[in-house]
Amino acid sequence: MDLTRWARAQWDRIAAWLLIAGGVITLLVGWWGVSHTAYLAEQMPYLISAGMFGLFLLGVGATTWLSADLRDEWRKLDELADLMRHR
Amino acid sequence: MTRPSASTPGHQPYPWQVPDLFRWFALLGLSLVGIVVAWWCASGTATFNRQLTWLNVGVAAVVVGGLGNMTWLLQGRRALALRRSLVLSALPIAPDRTDLSAVDADDVRHAVPGTKRHHRSGCSAVAGKQTETMSATDHERAGRRPCGLCGG
**Contact status, residue B6 vs residue B12, Cβ threshold 8 Å:** no
Question: Do B69 and B121 share a domain, yes or no?
Answer: no
pLDDT at residue number A85: 77
Looking at the complex, does the CB of residue A53 fall below 8 Å from at least one CB of chain B? yes
**Contact status, residue B58 vs residue A48, Cβ threshold 8 Å:** yes
The ipTM assigned to this model is: 0.87
Give how many domains chain B has, as a whole number.
2
Question: Of A49-58, B44-53, B91-100, where does the model show the most confidence?
Answer: A49-58
Question: Do B41 and B66 share a domain, yes or no?
Answer: yes
pLDDT at residue number B2: 43
At B104-132, the pLDDT tens digits run: 566 788 888 888 888 888 787 887 788 88
CA distance B96 to chain A (A): 21
Question: Which chain B residue has its CA at the smallest distance from A59's CA?
Answer: B66
Comparing CB atoms, the residue among B9, B15, B46 nearest residue A70 is B15
Question: Do B58 and B25 share a domain, yes or no?
Answer: yes
Question: Do B59 and B102 share a domain, yes or no?
Answer: no
Other beta carbons within 10 angstroms of residue B43's beta carbon come to 17
Report the distance separating Cα B34 and Cα B56, nearest Å: 10
Residues of chain A below pLDDT 50: none
At B54-91, the pLDDT tens digits run: 999 999 999 999 999 999 999 999 999 998 888 888 77
B146: three-class secondary structure by DSSP = strand
Report the distance separating Cα A25 and Cα A46, nearest Å: 13
Question: Do B73 and B42 share a domain, yes or no?
Answer: yes
Closest by Cα among B59, B52, B37, B38 to A41: B52
Question: Do B68 and B33 share a domain, yes or no?
Answer: yes
CA distances from B117 to B106, B111, B146 (A): 17, 6, 5
B75 domain residue, yes or no: yes
Comparing CB atoms, the residue among A51, A74, A85 nearest residue B15 is A74
B151 domain residue, yes or no: no
pLDDT at residue number B104: 54
pLDDT at residue number A81: 84
B13 domain residue, yes or no: no
Question: Do B46 and B80 share a domain, yes or no?
Answer: yes
CA distance A2 to chain B (A): 23
Beta strands in chain B (DSSP E): 108-111, 117-118, 132-135, 145-146
Report the distance separating Cα A59 and Cα A65, nearest Å: 10
Question: Do B116 and B136 share a domain, yes or no?
Answer: yes
pTM for the structure as a whole: 0.69
B56 domain residue, yes or no: yes
**Contact status, residue A9 vs residue A72, Cβ threshold 8 Å:** no
Question: Do B124 and B80 share a domain, yes or no?
Answer: no
Per the structure, the complete domain to which residue B126 belongs is given by: 97-146
A10: three-class secondary structure by DSSP = coil
B9 domain residue, yes or no: no
Question: Do B68 and B104 share a domain, yes or no?
Answer: no
Comparing CB atoms, the residue among B7, B28, B55 nearest residue A85 is B7
Report the distance separating Cα B100 and Cα B104, nearest Å: 6
Which residues, 6+ apart, have CB-to-CB distance to B71 below 8 Å?
B23, B24, B27
Q: At what angle do helices A11-35 and A53-85 cross, to 10 degrees?
A: 170
Domain end position, chosen among B64, B89, B114: B89
Looking at the complex, does the CB of residue A81 fall below 8 Å from at least one CB of chain B? yes
**Contact status, residue B38 vs residue B61, Cβ threshold 8 Å:** yes
B132: three-class secondary structure by DSSP = strand
Q: What does the domain layout of chain A look like in residue ranges?
A: 13-85
pLDDT at residue number B78: 93
B59 domain residue, yes or no: yes
pLDDT at residue number B5: 45
Contact A60 B58 (CB under 8 A): no
pLDDT at residue number B114: 84
Question: Do B52 and B111 share a domain, yes or no?
Answer: no
